[in-house]
Amino acid sequence: MKFDHIIIRYGEISTKKRNRKGFVDKMKAHIRWSLKDIDGVVLTANRERMYVLLNGVDHKPVIERLKGIFGIQSISPAIKVERDLEVMKTAALYYLNQTSEEVGTFKITTKRADKDFPYNTDEINRALGGHLLRNTEDVTVDVKNPDLNLLVEVRREAVYMTGEIIQGAGGLPFGSSGKAMLMLSGGIDSPVAGFLSMKRGLDVEAIHFYSPPFTSERSRQKVIDLAGKLAEINGSMKVHIVPFTEIQLLIQKQIPENYSMTTTRRLMMRVADKIREKEESMAIITGESLGQVASQTMSSMFAINEVTNTPILRPLITMDKTEIIKIARELDTFEISNLPYEDCCTVFTPASPKTKPKREKVNYYESFVDFDSLIEKAVTETEILTIKPGQTFDKEEAMEDLF
């Protein structure tokens, strides 16, 4: 006996009305991509649910993949059996023994769509419940708050059983909210911001600012590794590597030191906005958390935002560092982010950056410098990579680089 199908329940998609089909189609495409190398499984969908028909395939690896797909609220393995009470007893016991977590209490909830079935609801509940109690140890009935509510549906063609509810990833289907550009620094925060944005249905491309020889090839590779982790969600991620050395050197030369950080962020935003426009994206994502560093105060963000009308998404804005680190560990990006290769922001951080920069002052300082041509050059010379999952950082070489 084996589970023969998996029930997929929608999350927020259920609240959509006329445009629900578009969300369902996006999620269906993501599920098909996720299961593409598992031969035999078939996906079907209706307005309320999706079903994965297993056709003999083990349900566990399929469920593991489904758990990472955005838009899925919950998942339940299910089994279809003959309309025979003895077969139903065997199936109920099989279901209880196959749950992913240990079951201490259960209840049976039967629904008879076919009223001609020779046993009524109470008789079926008692027969199956008694069979489970006789054939298990330390398992009892709890009709109010059971670990497993085994749902039994009797139809004309067969009997269906399900009950275990496995939490899905939630959120919205990948790509259903459009495309946005993630400013990926290599630190702990920006990969988390990228993940959370993808969870809200965004198709994300990354932009990384690279300043050789002040930043090493290792720092560049670190960003590629982080992009590889995010690429596990949908199979690939486009990364735009922006050469930023000339702009940073000019900032250091022309802008007062305590305003150099503000100008650096403003110019990064201008470059990112031009790349966003080329890629027909609709927003820029940052890993900023309010008050975390000098560039993330309200005054700094007010001064930096001045350079663009594009929506700036800041998924981490109200999070503490410990909350961000917790998510980074879950995503398996924390260790990569912690590698000791500085990005272009940290290398050029002034000793005393302005935490309350003024727009009029930063505009005044920037008015003496022509950054436009360098911005255009940086955009033109940007290297574009398509990163696949599994492009891991070479830690052995990295250690050699340390000495």
Tens of pLDDT along the chain (403 residues) come to: 889 999 999 888 888 888 888 999 999 999 999 999 999 999 998 888 899 999 999 999 999 999 999 999 999 999 999 999 999 999 999 999 999 888 999 999 999 988 889 999 999 999 999 999 999 998 999 999 999 999 999 998 899 999 999 999 999 999 999 999 999 998 999 999 999 999 999 999 999 999 888 888 888 889 999 999 999 998 899 999 999 999 999 999 999 999 999 999 999 999 999 999 999 999 999 999 998 888 889 999 999 999 999 999 999 999 999 999 999 999 999 999 988 777 766 767 777 888 899 999 999 999 999 999 999 999 999 999 999 887 554 544 444 443 3
**Is 208 known to sit in a ligand binding site?**
yes
Is position 93 annotated in a ligand binding site?
A: no
209 marked among binding-site residues: yes
Q: Is 235 a known ligand-binding residue?
A: no
265 in a labelled binding site: yes
Q: Within a 10 A sphere around the Cβ of 99, how many other Cβ atoms?
A: 16
Structure tokens at 335: 């260790």
pTM (two decimals): 0.86
* Exposure class string for 313-323: b at 16+ Cβ within 10 A, else e: bbbbbebeeee
Question: What structural domains and CATH numbers belong to the chain?
Answer: 5-167 (3.30.2130.30), 179-387 (3.40.50.620)
* Angle of CA points 214, 216, 221, to nearest 5°: 145
Closest CA to 296 of 356, 366, 256, 211: 356
CA distance linking residue 328 with residue 193, whole number of Å: 10
Residue tagged 């309200």 (tokens): 298
Say whether 167 counts as a known binding-site residue.
Answer: no
